[in-house]
A and B are shown apart, each in its own frame.
Chain A
Amino acid sequence: MNLRRLKAVTKKELLHIVRDPRSLILALAQPLVMLLLYGYALTLDVDRIPTYVYDQDRTPESRELIDQFRGSRYFQIQGSVNGYKAIDQGINTSKILLSIVVPSQYSHHLLAGEEAPVQILVDGSDSNTAGIALGYAEAVVASYAAQMRSNAQVRRGGQALQPPVEPRIRVWYNSDLKSRNYIVPGLIAVTMMMIASMLSSLTIAREWENGTMEQLLSTPVRPGELVLGKLLAYFTLGVADMLIAIVVGVFAFQVPFRGNVAFLMLTSCLFLLGALSWGIFLSATARTQLMAYQLGMLSSFLPAYLLSGFIYSIQNMPKVIQAISYLVPARYFVTILNGVFLKGVGMRILGGEVILLTLYAVLVFVGASRKMRLKVA
């Protein structure tokens, strides 16, 4: 490694970056756009479920039950209907997601202390949302029924009914259970993986396309110097992107930041180096910019999005996919980001992830340098 040559390469790459203001602006705007778009659009919170009510009972009890739904922030009553046809229509046109049907004998059964079923119809085409909505609806119905029974008991002169076990739930780290709080840190990882490997994926392919690579190969510059020189130039751009992403996450999305800033910076740099090296590796493999770009998109964004545990829980995946996810560096970085942002943990707990990120960066860097060397032969 010759420092003078390294410096020459880095300086040249930085000049390329500033001479192409359109790409530069794009590179800096991309994390902003991605974060804002995904951060606002991608919410897994289910609330204000549009709901129809079909009350066949029309008793004080049935109305009270419906009021329970009306009072809940999870449901939004869109209207009362008088038949299944309207419900069908509502679900088909996506006007509603759920419908509550109170059968005619509801109040009678309830007051008699018998089982008092309520029918809930839900649009199952989005099974995830449907499941969550159904859960909320069941909880509302069950709690109302329990309360009614307890009241009846009191009226009969007895004691209020005490359930044998009463859970007192306390959620740690993301006490409001806001999905944004864990989506945004994960998004930073996905965005950075994508941008970093995009940025660097064009750099060597471009030299091949322009014929400058042939010139470089005839000079004493070593593959390692070329790779590292380019890496350092794009690293400065990557750090800028990373800072933008973090600032947007903390200030625009109000994601709590409980950890150590220095630890976050250190791990971000490690992750960036790995992602940039991956781009250079692809670039050395592909030879054309178009090919490198497509490979970059396919191999950075998709795995980071799907296999990092950022939205989709890795534990629920088939074993084979789980095994593959260990090869995705974003997986470790997502764990680190969630740890740093929400839990405020550091090296003591995330040491393993830090080591794996380092290992990834080193391996891919060596691979990229070797790939360059092979080209010479």
Chain B
Amino acid sequence: MPSAVEIRDLVKRFGSFVAVDHINLEVGRGEIFGFLGPNGAGKSTTIRMLCGLLQPTSGKATVGGLDIATQSEAIKQHIGYMSQKFSLYDDLTVEENIDFFSGIYGVPRERRSERKDYVLRMAGIEERRTSLTRLLSGGWKQRLALGCAILHEPPILFLDEPTSGVDPIARRTFWDLIYQLSAAGQTIFVSTHYMDEAEYCHRLALMYRGKIIALGTPAELKQSLASHHLLRLEVSDLVGSMKVLESLEGVSEVAVFGGGLHVTVADPSPAIPAIWAALKQAGIAVSVLEQIEPSMEDVFVAMIEEEERKAA
């Protein structure tokens, strides 16, 4: 059985700008695969190529075992796609939107009402089936958009920043739905720039300037930062401490984080006493000094900085 998505040396150029630069990856069936990266990193471009909306400049990719260059029409039967912009018809009612997408996805007549009921239930909008879509709140619209994209029960679902501009509770509900779909065997390829959402994914690819700079499970990615240990400090004099710590041996990075400091060190066991000593000598009081677990955001920032250093 082929992978749900397989990408080999995929490139997309717009004029002289390389939006996607020789990326490689593979997504297994039933996986929730997260695509991370800042805006303009090439996430949407990659998803658009996989969905047959854009032709790649070079390289190869398959979706459900079908070639995106030659079989894009066949691929469209097997995927659901939700773009970052809300893309249902505002002037149609909830039901009319569902009926329209049912029609163009070619859902068999006998399955239609069953699928419609499923989507209405899933999105929690059974009572609003005859409202104009314009009148729905952001979270509802979004769940309806997801519902419309899965009417034909596609084995693979592409979600391009599906939760942008939605409140946290609606985001949480949305991810519950994604888990349900994944549990039912659907592959989900989702891009986001919310770090907390990244933690929900089975596997992640971190994309930056058209390249994939890291790939793995959330735990693996955090592991890869093993050489970067993170300490949290709370001190009486932020600016003074920064000056002291930046010149201290074994400290690779000092950053203000909230009301304290995040200090990256290569090895915490000699570094912690050294920091105590140096700050004491400078007459700065330390109220907290502890090692912390890096969040996805720390990983993300560290990796991008690493990438910048390599480029420089």
Query: How long is the Cα–Cα vector from A214 to B55 in the complex, in angstroms?
Result: 14
Interface flags for B32-58 (1: CB within 8 Å of A; 0: not) read 000000000000000010011111000
Closest to A215 in B: B87
Minimum Cβ distance to chain A for residue B230 (Å): 40
Of the stretches A1-9, A34-42, A43-51, A179-187, the one at the interface is: A1-9
Question: Which residues in chain A, 209-235, are within 8 Å of chain B measured between CB atoms?
Answer: 210-212, 214-222
Interface flags for A106-120 (1: CB within 8 Å of B; 0: not) read 000000000000000
Query: How long is the Cα–Cα vector from A2 to B55 in the complex, in angstroms?
Result: 24
Question: Which residues in chain B, 91-111, are within 8 Å of chain A measured between CB atoms?
Answer: 91-92, 96, 99-106
Of the stretches A14-22, A60-68, A313-321, the one at the interface is: A14-22
Closest to B92 in A: A15
Q: Which of A218, A221, A222, A376 makes the CB contact (< 8 A) with B79?
A: A218
Known A-B contacts A8-B99, A12-B100, A220-B105; the reply to A211 vs B83 at CB < 8 A is yes
Contacts of B48 in A (CB 8 A): 214
Q: Which of B73, B77, B87, B105 makes the CB contact (< 8 A) with A211?
A: B87
Contact: A12 with B92, CB < 8 Å? yes
Contact: B76 with A218, CB < 8 Å? yes
Contacts of A16 in B (CB 8 A): 89, 91-92
Chain B CB within 8 A of A349 CB: no
Interface size on A, residues (CB 8 A): 26
Minimum Cβ distance to chain B for residue A71 (Å): 64
Closest to B82 in A: A215
Minimum Cβ distance to chain A for residue B131 (Å): 13
Known A-B contacts A4-B103, A215-B81; the reply to A220 vs B89 at CB < 8 A is no
Chain A CB within 8 A of B85 CB: yes
Closest to A377 in B: B55
Contact: A220 with B77, CB < 8 Å? yes
Known A-B contacts A8-B104, A211-B85; the reply to A218 vs B52 at CB < 8 A is yes
Contact: A217 with B52, CB < 8 Å? yes
Q: Which of B51, B86, B96 makes the CB contact (< 8 A) with A12?
A: B96
Category for how many chain B residues contact A: 20 to 34
Contacts of A149 in B (CB 8 A): none
Query: How long is the Cα–Cα vector from A212 to B81 in the complex, in angstroms?
Result: 12
Chain A CB within 8 A of B88 CB: yes
Q: Which of A4, A218, A220 makes the CB contact (< 8 A) with B53?
A: A218
Minimum Cβ distance to chain A for residue B11 (Å): 16
Minimum Cβ distance to chain A for residue B186 (Å): 16
Contact: B92 with A8, CB < 8 Å? no
Contact: B91 with A214, CB < 8 Å? no
Query: How long is the Cα–Cα vector from A221 to B77 in the complex, in angstroms?
Result: 10
Query: How long is the Cα–Cα vector from A20 to B55 in the complex, in angstroms?
Result: 36
Contacts of B52 in A (CB 8 A): 217-218, 376
Minimum Cβ distance to chain B for residue A1 (Å): 13
Known A-B contacts A210-B87, A376-B53; the reply to A8 vs B100 at CB < 8 A is yes
Query: How long is the Cα–Cα vector from A314 to B205 in the complex, in angstroms?
Result: 66
Chain B CB within 8 A of A370 CB: no
Contact: A221 with B87, CB < 8 Å? no
Query: How long is the Cα–Cα vector from A216 to B104 in the complex, in angstroms?
Result: 9
Minimum Cβ distance to chain B for residue A273 (Å): 23
Contacts of B55 in A (CB 8 A): 377
Chain B CB within 8 A of A11 CB: yes
Contacts of B104 in A (CB 8 A): 5, 8-9, 216, 219-221
Closest to B93 in A: A15
Contact: A19 with B105, CB < 8 Å? no
Minimum Cβ distance to chain B for residue A16 (Å): 6
Contacts of A9 in B (CB 8 A): 100, 103-104
Closest to B73 in A: A220
Contacts of B101 in A (CB 8 A): 219
Contact: B103 with A5, CB < 8 Å? yes
Contacts of A217 in B (CB 8 A): 51-53
Contact: B81 with A218, CB < 8 Å? yes
Known A-B contacts A19-B92, A212-B87; the reply to A219 vs B53 at CB < 8 A is no
Closest to B55 in A: A377
Query: How long is the Cα–Cα vector from A212 to B87 in the complex, in angstroms?
Result: 5
Contacts of A376 in B (CB 8 A): 52-53
Minimum Cβ distance to chain B for residue A222 (Å): 8
Contacts of A214 in B (CB 8 A): 48, 53, 83, 85, 87
Best-surrounded residue of A2, A16, A215, A218 (most CB of chain B within 10 A)? A218
Best-surrounded residue of B55, B89, B96, B158 (most CB of chain A within 10 A)? B89
Interface flags for B115-154 (1: CB within 8 Å of A; 0: not) read 0000000000000000010000000000000000000000
Contact: B81 with A15, CB < 8 Å? no
Query: How long is the Cα–Cα vector from A20 to B92 in the complex, in angstroms?
Result: 11
Minimum Cβ distance to chain A for residue B96 (Å): 6
Closest to A375 in B: B53
Query: How long is the Cα–Cα vector from A146 to B158 in the complex, in angstroms?
Result: 92
Contacts of A222 in B (CB 8 A): 73
Contacts of B86 in A (CB 8 A): 211
Contact: B106 with A2, CB < 8 Å? yes
Contacts of A220 in B (CB 8 A): 73, 76-77, 104-106
Contact: A12 with B89, CB < 8 Å? yes
Question: Which residues in chain A, 350-377, are within 8 Å of chain B measured between CB atoms?
Answer: 376-377
Closest to B47 in A: A218
Minimum Cβ distance to chain B for residue A361 (Å): 25
Q: Which of B79, B81, B91 makes the CB contact (< 8 A) with A20?
A: B91
Contacts of B158 in A (CB 8 A): 218
Minimum Cβ distance to chain A for residue B272 (Å): 52
Contact: B92 with A5, CB < 8 Å? no
Closest to B97 in A: A12
* Other contacts beyond A12-B100, A15-B92, A217-B52: 5, CB < 8 A: A19-B92, A218-B51, A218-B81, A220-B77, A220-B105
Could you list 12 examples of A-B contacts with CB < 8 Å? A8-B104, A9-B100, A12-B96, A15-B96, A19-B91, A19-B132, A214-B83, A218-B52, A218-B53, A220-B77, A376-B52, A376-B53
Which 9 pairs across A and B sit closest by C-beta, in order of nearness? Answer: A8-B103, A218-B81, A211-B85, A215-B87, A19-B91, A221-B104, A220-B76, A211-B87, A12-B100
